[in-house]
């Protein structure tokens, strides 16, 4: 009896949870709802709609985290506190090697690879100077 009651209670809880998560959409179907995810706060000073960033030099909006107008291995982000776009190196999310920006080519490269460096050199990150090409110490 106790087992049946717990099973029934579990089923009831699942139905309540499922109903709370799903909300009817205007097309008579159900869609997953994330609180305020599709609702946009009306802001007359906002340059782009949704999760987009504005690039003043080309006067266009691009999706945040997309490639947009950025170089290789770069993504669109916003400058802090604004919706003005900037290109930054993709973050590796703790998987693989980090990347560094190479301004001369306006793109990013993996550290400790040849990248834009001459044969026998690799790209080394520098804290204050930016990345630099250096001789590979153990080439043999």
What DSSP string runs through 41-107? Answer: ---TT-SSSSSEEEETTTTEEEETTS-TT--TTEEEEE-TTS-BEEEEEPP-TTSS--EEEETTTTE
Comparing 60 with 42, the larger pLDDT belongs to 60
Residue 122 DSSP label = E
Query: What are 17-41's pLDDT values in tens digits?
Result: 333 333 333 333 222 222 333 334 4
Highest mean pLDDT among 43-57, 72-86, 95-109: 72-86
CA angle (47 as vertex; 46, 52 as ends), nearest 5: 95
Torsion sign over Cα 27, 30, 32, 35: positive
pLDDT at 87 over 50: yes
pTM above 0.75, yes or no: no
- Token pair in block for residue 133: 């090409």
């Amino acid at each position: 009896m106790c087992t049946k009651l717990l099973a029934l209670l579990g089923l009831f809880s699942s139905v309540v949870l499922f109903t709370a998560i799903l909300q009817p959409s205007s097309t008579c179907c159900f869609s997953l709802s994330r609180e305020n995810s599709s609702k946009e706060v009306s802001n007359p000073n906002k340059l782009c709609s949704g999760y987009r960033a504005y690039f003043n030099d080309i006067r266009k909006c691009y999706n945040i985290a997309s490639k947009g107008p950025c170089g290789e291995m770069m993504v669109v982000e916003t400058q802090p506190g604004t919706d003005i776009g900037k290109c930054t190196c993709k973050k590796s999310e703790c998987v693989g090697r980090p990347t560094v920006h190479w301004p001369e080519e306006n793109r990013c490269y993996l550290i400790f690879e040849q990248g834009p460096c001459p044969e026998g050199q690799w790209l080394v990150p520098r804290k204050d100077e930016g990345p630099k090409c250096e001789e590979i110490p153990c080439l043999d």
